[in-house]
Amino acid sequence: MMSGGNYTSLDNQKVSGSVPAVPDPGQVTVKFEDSTLQTFPPSGAQGKISGASLPPRDADDTFSKPVAGSDEPQQSGWFRTFTVASYKPYFDVDTTDVVERIKDSLFPFRGTFNEKTSSNPDLYGPFWICTTLIFVAASIGTFVTYVAHKLKKKEWNYDINLVTWSAGVFYGYVTIVPLVLYVILKYFSAPSGLVQLFCLYGYSLFVFIPALCLSVVPLEIFRWVVAGVAGLMSATFVALNLKAHIKSAGERWFIIVAGIFLLQLGLSVVLKLYLFTVTV
């Protein structure tokens, strides 16, 4: 028999013989090639959304051309009208801008709205003003007729035509009238930006929102006064802001301004007859 020490030496020989010795490679130096990545300077963004598209600065340049190097897909001619990029600059406003423009519409005798918005006309405010008018007109009209029927103890039915009629009046007016005026001014060699006209007419309708809310007072004379004041404020706001520009059309500028004023008054009369008047 072998002692424990002999067993230990044999085991060490087996282990040392089964694992070969690995030579030390020493210090290894890893070399990296120079990076080929390029660095780019930050782009100078302009406006609140992007500097890729800017509002038109020329009075007759309705849709401006995109800046070279823009990431937006570029289209030529009237094809740009059907792209989102052509409308993006006209929604480049914040709450402060919209509130300031609404305040200007409530002070019509200043006549400085066009000057303040000439470099950045927007469609955001006009869209939400018209949309708000539709719901306010439908809700106020429904409430007034409901109260009138209940006071006289008559059956009342909801009229869905108030919504469709209001949508047709407000959306149609703020779209068709500026288009017609744009053609007229172009004919008299006093062209104005189409978006600028949309912006002006859209904000001119804001005064009818509080007027509609005041129509809940069940006094016919009071409703006529409210409709008349709102119509005069809206008509004065549009006429005075276009007066200086339309003067370049020649001797007939007064006829154009008078037509704009009377047309805006006509809108207030239509609203009085169809929304402010309660028939039971």
pLDDT for the residue numbered 271 = 85
pLDDT for the residue numbered 211 = 92
pLDDT for the residue numbered 38 = 52
pLDDT for the residue numbered 210 = 93
- For the residues of 246-263, what is the DSSP string, one character each? HGGG-TTHHHHHHHHHHH
pLDDT for the residue numbered 22 = 53
Task: Say how many Å lie between the first and final Cα of the chain, rounded.
Answer: 126
Residue in the structure block whose two tokens are 């809940």: 216
Structure tokens at 198: 């949309």
pLDDT for the residue numbered 255 = 86
pLDDT for the residue numbered 54 = 45
Consecutive 10-residue runs of the chain (280 residues): their mean pLDDT? 47 48 55 52 49 44 44 55 73 90 92 87 93 90 78 75 87 94 86 89 95 86 91 94 80 84 91 68
Whole-prediction pTM:
0.70
Q: Give me the sign of the Cα torsion angle 220, 223, 225, 228.
A: negative
pLDDT for the residue numbered 59 = 46
Exposure of 212 by Cβ count < 10 A (0-12 exposed, 13-18 middle, 19+ buried)?
Answer: buried
What is the chain's length?
A: 280
Closest listed residue to residue 140, CA positions, set 156, 163, 107, 115: 163
pLDDT for the residue numbered 26 = 56
**Alpha carbon distances (Å) from 34 to 31, 38, 225:** 10, 12, 80
Residue in the structure block whose two tokens are 């006549």: 111
pLDDT for the residue numbered 58 = 44
Q: Is 42 helix (H, G, I), strand (E, B) or coil?
A: coil
Domain definitions of the chain by residue range: 123-276
